Each structure stands twice: as structure tokens, then as C-alpha cells.
Amino acid sequence: EDASLPEAKKIKLDDTDAEKIKLGDGKDVKGTRVRVFGRVHRERRQKDLMFITLRDGYGQMQVIFSGPLAKTYDALTLTRETSMEIAGTLMKVPEGAHAPNSRELHADYFKIHAGWKAAGGEEAITNRVSKGTEQATLLDLRHLTLRGETASKVMIVRDAVEFAFNTVYKELRMRKVSPPALVQTQVEGGSTLFKLDYYTEEAYLTQSSQLYLETCLPSMGDVYCIEKSFRAEKSLTRRHLAEYSHVEAELDFITFDDLLSHLEHVMCRVLEVTLADPTIKQHILDLNPGFKMPERPFMRMKYSDAIDWLIKNEIINEETKEPHKFGDDIAEAAERKMTDIINKPIFLTHFPAEIKSFYMMRDKEDPRVTESVDCLMPGVGEIVGGSMRIFDYDELMAGYARENIDPTAYYWYTDQRKYGSSPHGGYGLGLERFLAWLCEQHTVRDCCLYPRYFGRCKP
Ligand code: 4AD
């Protein structure tokens, strides 16, 4: 070993030489001297001792101040959320006592850097964010509520899930692309377009990257993206956002059955990869104690059978106040009731062309319906929408006409049908909806960092 190099894994900030670790690290460090950094999650005093739960995003650690350390001015006036540096010896917790990772840090040194002490008194975080705080205020204070245990676990699971999608797509040799957010074409209907003035031209925030993904197939093979999609939804439901993360994929030379099998594989494999990390698995079980891997194959149900099911189960169409009939859009409430009663993932397929987008391929056996699929999950409802795409030029033209879309701006999309068209299909999965299901969150708002929806664009 080259003695002139800095000593491995040791950092010297002062005259103590404790090893620096993250709070969740090092099951093997009992008895060693370590240096930790984090914020005060909780603190309590008991006689001459002070117990601190320190938090750093990787875990929590119980720290004990005793003797003169507990009597210092900074210890006596310590506030929650204060950032600290603490050195001490890691010990096993005494028999019968509980602490994260069954260990505690017996501190011999601590430091609060100037300006790092968190506000106390009226301004203390516990006064600004508590159980009784109004929902709207909590949302204004998202930058603080993100420090809470539930919010931070959901965000950490989200990171793992996004990584798992990338892993699984790479296993399938799919390539990631990054389509534009500023566009001049609609994908999912004009009513939810955010319009903006783009150097005097009209442009929109994209509703879906699908059309762009389709243009990549001829040169890149199967592709995917994880990008933001935007919907000017004027509804305040628990599953609608104005800005959401959209996991979209497009596959070349496939059949509708291939699309369904792929989708089932991706969703289950993403869960496997995500749960393979013990910390993430524990977070998921803390958030959703009843979580079970979905059984394969997923139930497959045709739209027409769903209509019959709704009629039989007396779930009416809330808009017409009448029983459902073929051609109705199954609204969110009815869809969720059905999914919750069936209580397992459902591939709902073959929707009528009239209630779906211009690009969807019709079913050869029954041209009233399309080769389309929504994946429905208990508690949330639709989390995926996908279909086979029209690959015939004339049929696509008829699709534009049916939806009153001027094809001019779509020249680049239409061109795909002129230069080597192919049977292809794909889907979009709402990441926040997937997480709401996985982490059993009441609303998708709690599954994004800073939710954007009707009436909210801050912080
Ligand atoms: O069903 P959608 O509208 O389908 C598409 O956008 C297709 N072009 C995707 C494709 O085939 N590449 O949306 C797909 C998914 C929905 O199932 C839902 O999970 C999510 O996107 N989604 C929303 N999530 C949150 N807030 C909203 N307003 C959403 N709208 C759709």
C-alpha cells in the first residue's frame, strides 16, 4: 500500500479519526468508532441521558449523549431537524430495548455547524407540520412533509421502481430515447391539451411520447422512454395529475397477444427486481402490509364482457343514470368498483373504436372494437393504456377524419405508413398510479415529488 495516499475510508475533519458511515450502513461495525452525519428526527431526554434518532435518507440511528455531552448548551437546546456531525462507538442495544438495526451510537463528540441549528419555538417543524395541519397547508409545505417517514419511503420506492423499469427494459434489449415535451400534435384528445405560445406558433405540452416512439422502431428496434406527460385535467380526482411520469414502450413486429404477454412480463419483473432489495421490500411492506405479488396470467376481460358484468352487478352509468350499454366510456368510479370487487389485476381489452384514440388498430374479427388494453389494478383502476397501432395509410387517414384531426401537422407520423409500415404496438404506464397501487397510497399526489394538478403549481 502506498503510504503517501490518504488513509482509506477515513476522513479527518478534526482531531478524532472515526470512520464515516451512512446511517443504514455497516451491520459489522458494532464496537467500532464511527462518524455519522444527519438530521435530528426525534429527541428525548431521560434523566442525565439524551436519546436522539438521527436520519440521513439511508436509515436512522439511535444516538445517546451521556455525561458532560448531554449537559452542553447545544444538547440542552437541540431542535428537531438540526443537522449534526456525531462521532462515537456503535454498540448493540441492551436486551429488551429497541432501536433501528438493534444498535445505538454512544457519542463522545458532536458538532453543530454554525447556522445548521433548525428553528425552534413557534417556528419548530412540529408546529408547522402536524397531524392536525390542513391538507392544503400540508401541500404548500411539501418541502417539509417530504421529510416525513411515509413520504420519504414512497419517494425511495419510486426511485427503485424507475430503476427497475430501466433494468427490465435493458434485459429485453430495449433502447431508451428522449422525445420532446414541446409538440404540435395531440395524442389523446384536444380537451386535455396545455396550449402555449411558441415563438408566435401554437404548441402544446406533450400528452404522450407514443407517436415519437413509433418513429424510432425502423432504426432502433424496440424502444421506451420515461418522460413527463401533461394533461390539462380539470378534475380533482385522486388519480389525475396535470404533470405525470409516463413509462412508455413501443414494440415492432408483434401481435396483440405478444403485447399483452410483454406487458405482464414487464410489470411482474419490475416488481421482482424492485423487491430484490431488502430495504425497498421493507419500505413497501411498511406502506402496504398486505402486498402480494400478482398472480400470472392476469385476468383478461373484453370490454363487452365488462359491460355485461356492470349490468349484472347493477353498477350504473353515473352520467346517464342508466345501466351501462355497449359504446359507453366506463367512468372512473364504475371501473374502480369493478376492479375492487374482482380484486386482482385485469387486462380490459377490445374497446370500441369510437371511445378510443385515432391511431388504434381495429380487431379483424370484430371491426367495431380495437386491439386495445387497459390494465386495471385494485384500489387505483387504470394504470396502463396500450394498443396495436393502425399501420395502414388509408385506415390512419380515416382515423384522423373520425376524430376531426387535420392530418397536416402529423405528416411525420403518417410517413411511417409510407416507408415500410409494420404491425406494432405499445403502451403507457402512469408511474404515479403504479406506485399508488404498490405503496397503497390513497392518491397519486402522494407519489410524486411536487404534485401538479388542477389549481396547484407550487411549491
Ligand atoms: O391511457 P393513456 O391516455 O394512453 C396514452 O397516453 C397512450 N398514448 C400511451 C401509449 O400507448 N404510449 O395514458 C396512459 C397511462 C394511463 O393508464 C395512466 O396510468 C396514466 O397514463 N395517466 C395519468 N396519470 C396521472 N394523471 C393523469 N392525468 C393521467 N392520464 C393518464
Cα torsion through 290, 295, 301, 305, rounded to 10: -60
* The ligand 1 atom nearest the CA atom of 374: 17
pLDDT of residue 11: 42
* In CATH, 143-447 is 3.40.630.30: no
Q: Whose CA is nearest to atom 24 of ligand 1?
A: 430
**Bridge partners of 370?**
362
According to the 3-state scheme, what is the secondary structure of the chain? CCCCCCCCCECCCCCCCCEECCCCCCCCCCCCEEEEEEEEEEEEEECCEEEEEEECCCCEEEEEECHHHHCCHHHHCCCCCCEEEEEEEEEECCCCCCCHHHEEEEEEEEECCCCCCCCCHHHCHHHHCCCCCCHHHHHHCHHHHCCCHHHHHHHHHHHHHHHHHHHHHHHCCCEECCCCCEECCCCCCHHHCEEEEECCEEEEECCCCHHHHHHHHHHHCCEEEEEEEECCCCCCCCCCCCEEEEEEEEEECCCHHHHHHHHHHHHHHHHHHHHCCHHHHHHHHHHCCCCCCCCCCCEEEEHHHHHHHHHHCCCEECCCCEECCCCCCCCHHHHHHHHHHHCCCEEEECCEHHHCCCCECECCCCCCEECEEEEEECCCEEEEEEEEECCCHHHHHHHHHHCCCCHHHHHHHHHHHCCCCCCEEEEEEEHHHHHHHHCCCCCHHHHCCCCCECCECCC
CATH number of 19-121: 2.40.50.140
Judge whether 10 and 17 are in contact, CB under 8 Å.
yes
CA of 324 to the centre of ligand 1 (A): 23
Model pTM above 0.80 = yes
* The ligand 1 atom nearest the CA atom of 241: 26
Report which of 447, 384, 381, 392 is spatially closest to residue 414, judged by C-alpha positions: 392
**Helices 149-171 & 278-287 angle (0-180, nearest 10):** 130
Residue ranges of the chain whose pLDDT lies below 50: 6-13
Q: Whose CA is nearest to atom 18 of ligand 1?
A: 430
Query: Could you tell me the residue ranges of all domains in the chain?
Result: 19-121, 143-447
CA of 213 to the centre of ligand 1 (A): 15
**Bridge partners of 84?**
38
Q: Whose CA is nearest to atom 7 of ligand 1?
A: 428
Main-chain dihedrals φ then ψ at residue 63, nearest 5 degrees: -120, 140
Q: Given ligand 1 and candidates 433, 438, 453, which is best to mutate, with the most ligand atoms within 8 Å of its CB? A: 433
pLDDT of residue 436: 98
> What does the alpha-carbon distance between residue 106 and residue 62 come to, in Å, rounded to a whole number?
9
> What does the alpha-carbon distance between residue 83 and residue 112 come to, in Å, rounded to a whole number?
7
Q: Given ligand 1 and candidates 246, 330, 357, 359, which is best to mutate, with the most ligand atoms within 8 Å of its CB? A: 246
* The ligand 1 atom nearest the CA atom of 386: 11
Judge whether 249 and 213 are in contact, CB under 8 Å.
yes
Q: Which residues line ligand 1 (CB under 6 A)?
A: 187-188, 207-208, 210, 231, 233, 240-241, 244, 246, 248, 382-386, 426-430, 432-433, 444
CA of 364 to the centre of ligand 1 (A): 25
CA of 340 to the centre of ligand 1 (A): 20
247: left (phi over 0), alpha (psi -120 to 50) or beta: beta
CA of 429 to the centre of ligand 1 (A): 6
By CB atoms closer than 10 A (0-12, 13-18, 19+), residue 214 is buried
Q: Whose CA is nearest to atom 29 of ligand 1?
A: 240
Sheet holding 201-205, edge to edge: 182-183, 201-205, 194-198
> What does the alpha-carbon distance between residue 306 and residue 338 come to, in Å, rounded to a whole number?
8
Q: Compute the chain's Rg from CA coordinates.
A: 27
* Chain mean position to CA 192: 22
Q: Whose CA is nearest to atom 1 of ligand 1?
A: 385
pLDDT of residue 74: 94
Q: Which amino acid is at 348?
A: L
Q: Given ligand 1 and candidates 183, 188, 204, which is best to mutate, with the most ligand atoms within 8 Å of its CB? A: 188
pLDDT of residue 131: 83
CA of 312 to the centre of ligand 1 (A): 29
pLDDT of residue 17: 61
Judge whether 164 and 281 are in contact, CB under 8 Å.
no
Q: Whose CA is nearest to atom 21 of ligand 1?
A: 430
Alpha carbons within 13 A on the beta-carbon side of 109? 15
Omega cis (within 30) before 297: yes
Judge whether 282 and 100 are in contact, CB under 8 Å.
no
